[in-house]
Structure 1
Amino acid sequence: MKGLFRFLKGYKLVCVGVVILMFVQVVAALFVPTLVASIVNDGIVPGNLDHVLTFGLAMLGAAVLSAVATLAGTYASAYIATGVSRDMACALYEKVHRLPHLEVGHFGVASLITRITSDVNQIQQALLIFIEMLLPVPFMVVIGMALMFSKDSVLAAGIVGIMIVIIIVFLILSRVVIPYFEKLQRQLDSLNRTVRESIAGVRIIRAFRRTEWDRLRMEESAGNYAATAIKTNRIFAVVVPFVMLLFNVTTFAILFVGGNQVAEGSLEIGDIMALVEYAMLILGYLLMGVAMLIFIPQAQVSARRINEVLEKEEPPLVKEGENEAACDRPSQKPHASKGLLPVPPAVEFKQVGFSYEGAEKPVLENVSFVANPGETTAIIGATGSGKSTIANLLMGLFEAGEGEILVHGKPLASYNVAALRKRIGFVPQRPFLFSGTIADNLHHGCACASEQQMRSALATAQIADFVESLEDGRASPVAQGGDNFSGGQRQRLAIARALVRRPEILLFDDSFSALDATTDLKLRRALKNDTPNSAKIVIAQRVSSIADAERIVVLDEGRVVGTGTHQELLETCSEYRAIVQSQEG
C-alpha cells in the first residue's frame, strides 16, 4: 500500500479538510449524549423546563452540525477516492504502454485488464471506506473513552476490554482471509481470460463443435471463483454474529452495573444514559470499522498486484533520448550525392542474438544484415525462423540479448520510443484497425496528415479506388479491428496508415499475404516510385513478394544462411532454393 500513497499527493488540502470534518462530526455526535445527561439530571429530575428547552436546542444544533459535517466529509472522501482511482488507472495504462512486449506477455492481457479495472476499484472502495468509516474511529475512541472515564471508570475499563477482544478477533480474521483474497483475484484473472478467449474464438468454437467444451470450461472457471468467494463469506458469517453478541452483552452489562449504581446513589440516571450512548457510539464506530476492515486485506492484495506493474523496471529505450514532438512530420533523407559523406545504413544488425525467457535455444543467433535508404531488404524463412522477432527488436518491443542494432548509425538504446518510432512506419503481421472512420485510422499514422497526404498514401497502398467508391469516402465507418473489411482491405488500409507519415524506414511484417498477385505487384511498384528514399524491410512468406528486392536475407532456425539478390541466392543458397521450389511446385 505504501507505494500507492504517492497518488494522494495531489489531494493534500482535501485530506486535511476531511480530517477536520471527521473531527467535527465525532465531537458533535458525542456532545449530544452529554447534553442528554444534563437535560435529565438538571432539567427533567428537578423540573427545570427552561434548562430542558435551552439544552434541547443545543442538542438539536449539535445534531445538525454533525449531519452537515458528515455530508461534507462524504463528498470530500468520494472526491479523493474517485480521483485517486482515476489517476491510478491512468498510471497503469501508461505504464503498460511503456513496458517491453515480453513483460506484457508475462503479466498476461487478462491479468492486466483485471488490475486496471477490478484491482483499482478495490483500492477505490478501500480508500472510501477508510476515510468515511475508519478515520473517525480513533477520534471517537479517544474522545469517547475520555468522557466515559469522567463518568465512571469501572464501566469505561470494561469497554476497553471489549474493544481489545474485537481487535484481536480482527487480527486473527485478517490472517485467515488474506490468502483467500489473493486466490480470488487470481481466479478473477482466469475467469477474465476464459471469457475473452470464448468471445474472441467464438467462430472457431462453433466451427469445431466445441460449444459444450467451452461451456464446461466457463463453468469450471466461474465455479472455482464462486467456491472461494463462498468460503470467504462463510468465515464472516461466523465472525459478524459473534461480534454483535459482544456488542449486546456490553449493552446489558452497562445497564446492569449502572442500574445497581443508580440504586445505590453513586450514579445519576442521566449519567447512565450518557454512558450507554457513549458505549453505543464507541462500539458502533469500532464495529463498523472492523466490519469494513475486511476490505483492507483485499485492498492490500490489489495494491500488491498494481505495484507489481508500476514498479516494473522500464528498458533503457524508454528512458533515454530527447523528447520528440507529438506530431510526426515527414522525414525523408536523400541519398548521398557526389562529394558528400556516405549515408549510413538506415538499419544495421550486428551479430544480434535473442532468446525468450525459459527457451531451450535462442530464437536469433549471430544475425547480421543492413538495410540501406532507398532499397528493399527482404527477410524470408520457414515458420519459426525468427522473422517477426527481428521486427519486434527493431521496433524496440524486445531487447536484444547479444550484438547491436543501429538505426542511422546510432545504437537503438540511444533513442527513446518517440524518436525511434517516428522514423518507422510499421505494418504488423495481423493488421488492426481502430473503430472510427478510415480517416481516423490514417491519422493514427500521422495526426497532422493533410488531405493530399491521405490521398497519396491510399493510392500507393492500392486502395484509393475502393475508398472513393464508398458512400462516405474516407469518412466511412470502421468497426473494431476492421471486421467490416476483408483481410486484403485491412492490410492495404494498414499499409496506407504507415505510408501517410512518410517514414524513413518502412517495416512490413508479412503484410502482403492477403493480397492477390496482381495487387501485390502493383503495390510493390508503387512503393518503389512513391517512397524512393525510404528503407523498406519486407518480411514475407511468398517469394513472389520479394523477388525484386535489392537484398534478401534468408533465415533458418534463427541464423542467417544466405544474403543476396534473388538470382544470387538461387545459385548459392540451398535453403532459399528449397523455399522457391516448394512454392513453385
Structure 2
Amino acid sequence: MLIAFLDTHLRPYRRALALLLVLQIAKTMATLLQPAFFSLVVDRGIVRGDLNYIRYIGTVMVVVALVQILAAGAAAAVGARVSAALGRDLRSRVFRRVMGVSAREVGRFGAPSLITRTVNDVQQVQALVVTLLDIAVAAVITCVGGVVMALLQDVSLSLIIVALVVVLVTGLTVILVRISPTYARMQRAVENINRLLREQITGIRIVRAFVRDDHERARFSGANSELFGVGLKVGRMMATVPVVVMVLMNTATLPIIWFATGRIDAGQAQVGSIAALLGYVTLIITAIIMATIVFADLPRAAVSVRRVQEVLDVGTSVPTHPNPVHGARRRGRLTIQAAGFQYPGAPKPVLHNIDLVAEGGQTVAIVGSTGSGKTTLLNLALRLFDPTSGSVHVNGIDVRSFSPDSLHRVIGIVPQEPHLFSGTIGSNLRYGAPGAHDHDLWHALDIAQAGEFVEQLPGMLDAPVSQGGSNLSGGQRQRLAIARALVLRPEIYLLDDSFSALDRRTEARLRAALARDVPEATMIIVAQRLSAVQHADRIVVLDQGRVVGAGTHAQLLYYNRTYQEIAYSQGIPQEIPSRGHRTIRGVLHGQHS
C-alpha cells in the first residue's frame, strides 16, 4: 500500500522528482569519486614524488567537492518543496473527503480520529517523503555506486563489502517486520490522547462542576502512560540498529585490512587502492546508517498511510445524484413520506413511518419528549442522513436529486447547539452568503432581536468572535445563529429548539418579526417549550420515533394525551377549550371538573 500510495500522490511532481534524481546522482557520484582521486594521489603522486600530479588531482577534487555541495543544496531544496506540496495536497484531499461524506461516516471515524489523521498522519507521510527524497535516494545510489567503485579497486576484497550489505539489509528487514505492529499501537495511543484532551477541554465546566478533576487526571495519566510504554518499546527496538551497524562495520574493516596487508606484501595491491577501498566501506556503512533513519520512519509512515487512505477511500451514505437538480421553482413545500431511520449499529430504528407535510408559508412545529427523534427528523430534511425507508421531498423533488449546494440554499438550519466560528460577527453572518451587504446583515440581526446587542459591541459587525462563540452568552449565540440563517434567505427554515436560550419576551418579539418579515418562508420548528409553538399552523407530536398526534394547539390539548402531559408539565393554562371545560389535570386523571 505504501508504494502504491506514494506513486499515486507523487505523480503530479514527476518533473521535480526527475530533477531531484539528477541532482542526487550528481551529488553522490561526486562523493564516490573522492576516494578514487585519493588513491591516485597516493599511488601516482606520493609514491612517485610527482608534485604536479598531486596539485592537478587536488584541484580536481576541490572542483568535484564544489559540485557536491551545490548539488546537495539544490537537492535538499527540491525535496523539501515536493514534500511540503505533498503535505498540503494530502491535507486538502482529506479535508475535502471529510466535507463530502455524511454525518454517519464522520461519526464512524470520530472527530479526534479525523483530526489525528488530517494533521498527525499527514505529517508522518510528509516526514517520510523528506527522508526518502533526501536520504534514501542518496543512500541507495551510494551503496550501489560504492560497491561498483570498490570492485574497480579490488574484486576479491570487495566481496567482504557485498556480504556486509546483504547481512545489514536482512537484519534491518527483520527489525522492520517486528516493529510495524508496535507503531500501529503508538498511533492508536496518540489518538486516544487526542480524544481525552478534546473531551476534557470542551467539558471543562462539567468536570469542575462535578469536582472530577482527579478522575480526569487519572484517565489522562493512564492514556499518557500507555503512550509512554509503547514509545519506550519502539525506542528500545530502534536503539539496537546503530549498535548492530557499527559492530558490523568494524567487523568488516578488520578482515579487509588483514587480507590487504598480505596482498600489498605480495605486490598484488597498492596502498592507495586499499585506502580507497576502506573509504568506500566507510561511505557504504554511513549510507546504511542514514538508511536506518528512513527504515525507522517506514513502519510508522505505513500505518499513517493506511489511516489516511481509509479516509480517502470512504464512501458516503448520502451520495450525490449523477444528474442533480440545481434549482427548483420556489414554493417552500416540504414533504416527508413514510420515513424511517436507524443509526448504524443501533438495535432499533429511531423513526418509524413518519408522514409530514409543510406547505409554503406555513409554520409546522414538532414536539415530543427527549429522544423522540425530533432532531433526527430535521437531519433527514437537510439530508445529513438519508432515510432507511420512505422519502423526503422539497418542492415535489426528492432531496436525493438535489445537488448539495442547491438543497442547502433552499433549506436553512439553526442547530440545537448554535456553533459560531472564530472571526467576526460579520464573517459568521456571511457564512452561507459571502456576498451579503451590511444592510442585509443588520436586517437579519433586527429580525433575530440581535441588532441592539451587536450595536453595543466594539466594532459592531467587526467585533471579534472566539472559537465556538465562547465570548458570547448562550442567548446571543442563538440569536446570531438565527440571523445567519436569515441572511441566506432560504425557502424553508429548520429551527431546532432555537428559542431555548431566549426569555419569553424576546421569544415573542422574534416570532412576531419572523411572521412579519419572512411570511412566505416555511418554518419547521422543533421546541421543548410549547409557548414557542402554540401559534403554529400545525403541531406534530412525536413519541418514541412515531407520530402520535397532529393538529393545532387547541386540538391537541383537547384529544392528544402526550401533548396534554407536556402542557401539564409546563404549566400551560389548565382549561382545555371544550364544551365541558375539562382541565388538563382532570383529563390526565380520567376526571371531569
The bucket for the TM-score relative to the shorter chain is over 0.9
Could you tell me whether the CA contact under 8 Å between 1:98 and 1:318 is conserved in 2? no
In the alignment, which of 122, 126, 129 is matched to residue 128 of structure 2? 126
In the alignment, which of 384, 389, 400 is matched to residue 413 of structure 1? 400
- What do residues 317-369 of structure 1 show as CA deviations (whole Å, max 9, x unaligned)? 446455979xxxxx993xxxxxxxxx5x6211111111111211101110110
**Residue 571 (structure 1) aligned with residue 573 (structure 2):** no
Pairing 1:292-331 to 2, within 5 Å after superposition: 292-318=294-320, 320-321=322-323
- In structure 2, C-alpha distance between the alignment counterparts of 1:148 and 1:545, rounded to whole Å: 87
- What do residues 404-426 of structure 1 show as CA deviations (whole Å, max 9, x unaligned)? 11111111111121111111111
Displacement of 1:570: 2.0
- Helix, strand or coil: the match of 1:262? helix
- What do residues 204-231 of structure 1 show as CA deviations (whole Å, max 9, x unaligned)? 2122111111111111111100110001
* Equivalent position amino acid for 1:527 in 2: L
Pairing 1:436-447 to 2, within 5 Å after superposition: 436-447=423-434
**Residue 454 (structure 1) aligned with residue 441 (structure 2):** yes
Pairing 1:175-214 to 2, within 5 Å after superposition: 175-214=177-216
- Helix, strand or coil: the match of 2:346? coil
Q: CA 1:509–1:5 in structure 2 vs 1: closer, same or farther (change >3 Å)?
A: farther
Q: CA 1:295–1:107 in structure 2 vs 1: closer, same or farther (change >3 Å)?
A: same
In the alignment, which of 291, 299, 308 is matched to residue 289 of structure 1? 291
Q: CA 1:184–1:418 in structure 2 vs 1: closer, same or farther (change >3 Å)?
A: same
TM-score, with normalisation over the residues of structure 2?
A: 0.93
In the alignment, which of 469, 473, 478 is matched to residue 491 of structure 1? 478
- What do residues 169-205 of structure 1 show as CA deviations (whole Å, max 9, x unaligned)? 1111111111110000000000011111221122221
* Equivalent position amino acid for 1:386 in 2: G
Pairing 1:69-468 to 2, within 5 Å after superposition: 69-318=71-320, 320-321=322-323, 333=330, 346-468=333-455
**Residue 539 (structure 1) aligned with residue 541 (structure 2):** no
Displacement of 1:165: 0.8
- In structure 2, C-alpha distance between the alignment counterparts of 1:319 and 1:169, rounded to whole Å: 53
- Helix, strand or coil: the match of 1:294? helix
Provide the aligned C-alpha RMSD in A.
1.7
- Helix, strand or coil: the match of 1:462? coil
Displacement of 1:302: 0.2
In the alignment, which of 63, 67, 70 is matched to residue 69 of structure 2? 67
What runs of 5+ residues in structure 1 fail to find an aligned partner? Answer: 326-330, 334-342
Displacement of 1:143: 2.3
- In structure 1, C-alpha distance between the alignment counterparts of 2:316 and 2:172, rounded to whole Å: 39
Displacement of 1:292: 2.4
* Equivalent position amino acid for 2:54 in 1: V
Give the length in aligned residue pairs.
570
* Equivalent position amino acid for 2:207 in 1: I
- In structure 2, C-alpha distance between the alignment counterparts of 1:503 and 1:287, rounded to whole Å: 63
* Equivalent position amino acid for 1:313 in 2: G
Alignment-derived partner of residue 50 in structure 2: 48
Alignment-derived partner of residue 588 in structure 2: none
What runs of 5+ residues in structure 2 fail to find an aligned partner? Answer: 573-593
- Taking only the aligned residue pairs, the percentage that are identical comes to 37
- In structure 2, C-alpha distance between the alignment counterparts of 1:352 and 1:3, rounded to whole Å: 41
- Helix, strand or coil: the match of 2:499? coil
- In structure 2, C-alpha distance between the alignment counterparts of 1:157 and 1:576, rounded to whole Å: 91
- In structure 2, C-alpha distance between the alignment counterparts of 1:228 and 1:359, rounded to whole Å: 34
* Equivalent position amino acid for 2:552 in 1: T
- In structure 1, C-alpha distance between the alignment counterparts of 2:36 and 2:44, rounded to whole Å: 12
- Helix, strand or coil: the match of 1:552? strand
Alignment-derived partner of residue 337 in structure 1: none
Alignment-derived partner of residue 340 in structure 1: none
* Equivalent position amino acid for 1:573 in 2: N
Alignment-derived partner of residue 339 in structure 1: none
Could you tell me whether the CA contact under 8 Å between 1:317 and 1:412 is conserved in 2? no
Shifted more, 144-153 versus 483-492: the winner is 144-153
Alignment-derived partner of residue 583 in structure 2: none
- What do residues 443-467 of structure 1 show as CA deviations (whole Å, max 9, x unaligned)? 1131111122112111111111222
- In structure 2, C-alpha distance between the alignment counterparts of 1:46 and 1:132, rounded to whole Å: 41
* Equivalent position amino acid for 2:357 in 1: V
Shifted more, 102-111 versus 4-13: the winner is 4-13
Alignment-derived partner of residue 338 in structure 1: none
- Helix, strand or coil: the match of 2:59? helix
Q: CA 1:24–1:381 in structure 2 vs 1: closer, same or farther (change >3 Å)?
A: same
TM-score, with normalisation over the residues of structure 1?
A: 0.95
* Equivalent position amino acid for 1:380 in 2: V
- What do residues 417-445 of structure 1 show as CA deviations (whole Å, max 9, x unaligned)? 11111111110000111222211111113
- In structure 1, C-alpha distance between the alignment counterparts of 2:215 and 2:77, rounded to whole Å: 48
Displacement of 1:582: 1.5
- In structure 2, C-alpha distance between the alignment counterparts of 1:100 and 1:4, rounded to whole Å: 27
- In structure 2, C-alpha distance between the alignment counterparts of 1:423 and 1:260, rounded to whole Å: 90
**Residue 503 (structure 1) aligned with residue 503 (structure 2):** no
Alignment-derived partner of residue 22 in structure 2: 20
- In structure 2, C-alpha distance between the alignment counterparts of 1:317 and 1:463, rounded to whole Å: 37
Q: CA 1:324–1:74 in structure 2 vs 1: closer, same or farther (change >3 Å)?
A: farther
